[in-house]
Structure 1
């Protein structure tokens, strides 16, 4: 099991990982807003009291807050960091008075920037350090495994699992690992014929490299071909895009399993867990830390697309309703939505923080210190 990082190392690694992601996220909002001529009054990394900052020639205050758990861009005409409109504002150049499609794109640009950043990080890793290229053709079937019971054979090409394409063996591993003991459907190619196989996956519980216990699905096959190569720019971008799409689908799968009760809600992590894993990735080396940053960037982009008021996805949902109705919801309805979204987020943050304290053994450490 990997040694737990010190508190200070975890904090430093957390800020080093989250800070750039928040910056790029907000830079996406800011860049598209500038494109449409919307003025930004403040660009903040972190919340709370300003600890450093400056004002540029356009009047935008660039600053760093003392609480590094997010950030925001406050546009001209916004009442607060959640981009709620100020009352009585009629300036056509202010954010809330721009056409709904422009507001939609400005808000969408933040999450999109996180996905694009992840693609660029993966592409850089694949070009410099290389990537494992593995065939989706079965090379070996483990006896008495789930694959053997499904009648998978060496030479079979696995085309899809549960409707998800499997161009490489890494896709097979990713999809299977999220489905311990589940019944699945595989589409394979055998002797130029497509065949559908069904069966129950196996399962195993093990510790990941960060010392976290995870339950993984098992199929019981090995790839017929695997090699480690450096990729050219075009190939690397394609592989990086596939990696980002695949990891995003894994997040969707995992969230869906938690919602349906197939996976425990205790698997959800919050700031403390992220800080712990950031410190552990830092200890493991530059590759592990950069890979984690890319993964966190995907998570940040995905979470912000959830249709929860106060998040980007909540704004996008409201703008979609506004476009369909040809008029925005009433101020009272929007206020209720924002209050409900804020309450949900506060409860969620409290839950995952308490969840983190149990997961990282904080209570046990405190008991040992007191004892």
Structure 2
């Protein structure tokens, strides 16, 4: 039976995920700016018209806008999207100009920009470290417990007790490493290296495609070898080790994201699998019904995604700013304003195009186009 969380719970869950993460992200920018003595004019959660807000004693306007799909910090002197000085900035009094973003050296501006994505990763690491402390570190050895009948694992001759050492040339140490590799490579041919009775062996295999369906009716296309794992080993971890495990798991998640993007760019994975705010809202509603652990873990995943996406070298994103600051540091002078302007126009076009694409995908996943086709037909 398909379960649905309902519209109100979905909207609430979406706000509970996006709102705090956007606040934390922008708080990173704000805190770094404060550290370097930069005045913040506006701290906004959401875009568009202000629905609530206040001004603190430092002159910063803290506000909540009606469209909760992001946020921003506007530093003093930041008078254009590219953050370039202009005539208005030059006309400011000297003391006031010193507290503006453009007046700071390039390394300080870079830290302010990078602080947003970094704090998203830090938040995710703290959450994952908490999970490691609470539930321990489960590591299942990369040993075949059983090659399931009728699966690829049985067809290529794997047996119970075989230890898989590499997949596609990539070393694996745990069963979880194998799952992460196979899951995003449905239909691909890979080399399987393994050890049987002390002797190294290898065989080529084509990863099977399995369509899974969850309790909410969502379908997922995942790769499958058909290996049942050996008994898992769960060990308790201490306070000092938990952050290390959390960093490792964050790195594994980022690695999967990079590989998935590479598959989309190379055409091995369809762009239809890209999701946007509507998908995040849908998943948020579903995860909140599964309990606090699932919902908090989702927050960690979205936080990693938010940090990673913002570090991409695309103008309009934090990574685009960092790219131009790197060029400025090497050339010892800023990029020409005209170049910056055209780059940011192109970045804006790319971001808007991506938003249209993911929204189109989201509406398709919700069945809108199928229903419209039925009505027209």
The answer, yes or no, to whether TM exceeds 0.5 is yes
Secondary structure of the equivalent of 1:96? coil
The Cα offsets for residues 185-210 of structure 1, whole Å up to 9 and x where unpaired, read as 34545566766554322221122454
**How many pairs align?**
369
How big is the shift at 1:153?
A: 4.3
The corresponding residue for 2:55 is: 55
CA contact (8 A) 1:204 1:216 kept: yes
The corresponding residue for 1:285 is: 291
The corresponding residue for 1:254 is: 260
CA contact (8 A) 2:142 2:178 kept: yes
In structure 1, how many angstroms separate the alpha carbons of the residues matched to 2:43 and 2:172? 41
How big is the shift at 1:128?
A: 2.5
Farther-moved stretch of structure 1 (190-199 vs 293-302): 190-199
Secondary structure of the equivalent of 1:233? coil
The corresponding residue for 2:33 is: 33
Unaligned runs of 5+ in 2: 91-96
Secondary structure of the equivalent of 2:353? helix
| CA separation of 1:42 and 1:195: change in aligned 2, threshold 3 A | farther
Secondary structure of the equivalent of 2:102? helix
In structure 1, how many angstroms separate the alpha carbons of the residues matched to 2:181 and 2:154? 18
Pairing partner for 2:348 from 336, 342, 362? 342
| CA separation of 1:107 and 1:197: change in aligned 2, threshold 3 A | farther
Unaligned runs of 5+ in 1: none
How big is the shift at 1:156?
A: 3.9
In structure 2, how many angstroms separate the alpha carbons of the residues matched to 1:285 and 1:328? 50
Secondary structure of the equivalent of 2:49? strand
How big is the shift at 1:261?
A: 1.1
Does residue 309 (structure 1) correspond to residue 315 (structure 2)? The answer is yes
Does residue 84 (structure 1) correspond to residue 83 (structure 2)? The answer is yes
In structure 1, how many angstroms separate the alpha carbons of the residues matched to 2:296 and 2:104? 38
| CA separation of 1:199 and 1:369: change in aligned 2, threshold 3 A | closer
Q: State the TM-score, normalized to the length of structure 1.
A: 0.90
| CA separation of 1:2 and 1:323: change in aligned 2, threshold 3 A | farther
In structure 1, how many angstroms separate the alpha carbons of the residues matched to 2:296 and 2:8? 19
In structure 1, how many angstroms separate the alpha carbons of the residues matched to 2:104 and 2:50? 29
In structure 1, how many angstroms separate the alpha carbons of the residues matched to 2:109 and 2:171? 35
The corresponding residue for 1:65 is: 65
The corresponding residue for 2:275 is: 269
How big is the shift at 1:125?
A: 2.2
| CA separation of 1:161 and 1:84: change in aligned 2, threshold 3 A | same
| CA separation of 1:105 and 1:213: change in aligned 2, threshold 3 A | same
The corresponding residue for 1:332 is: 338
How big is the shift at 1:166?
A: 3.0
State how 1:27-176 maps to structure 2 within 5 Å. 27-80=27-80, 82=81, 84-88=83-87, 89-90=89-90, 91-130=97-136, 132-143=138-149, 145-162=151-168, 164-176=170-182
The corresponding residue for 1:221 is: 227
The corresponding residue for 2:210 is: 204
The corresponding residue for 1:297 is: 303
How big is the shift at 1:23?
A: 1.1
In structure 2, how many angstroms separate the alpha carbons of the residues matched to 1:33 and 1:83? 17
CA contact (8 A) 1:74 1:83 kept: no
In structure 2, how many angstroms separate the alpha carbons of the residues matched to 1:197 and 1:318? 47
Secondary structure of the equivalent of 1:335? helix
How big is the shift at 1:108?
A: 1.2
How big is the shift at 1:235?
A: 3.1
Farther-moved stretch of structure 1 (207-216 vs 238-247): 207-216
Q: State the TM-score, normalized to the length of structure 2.
A: 0.89
Secondary structure of the equivalent of 1:62? strand
Secondary structure of the equivalent of 2:249? helix
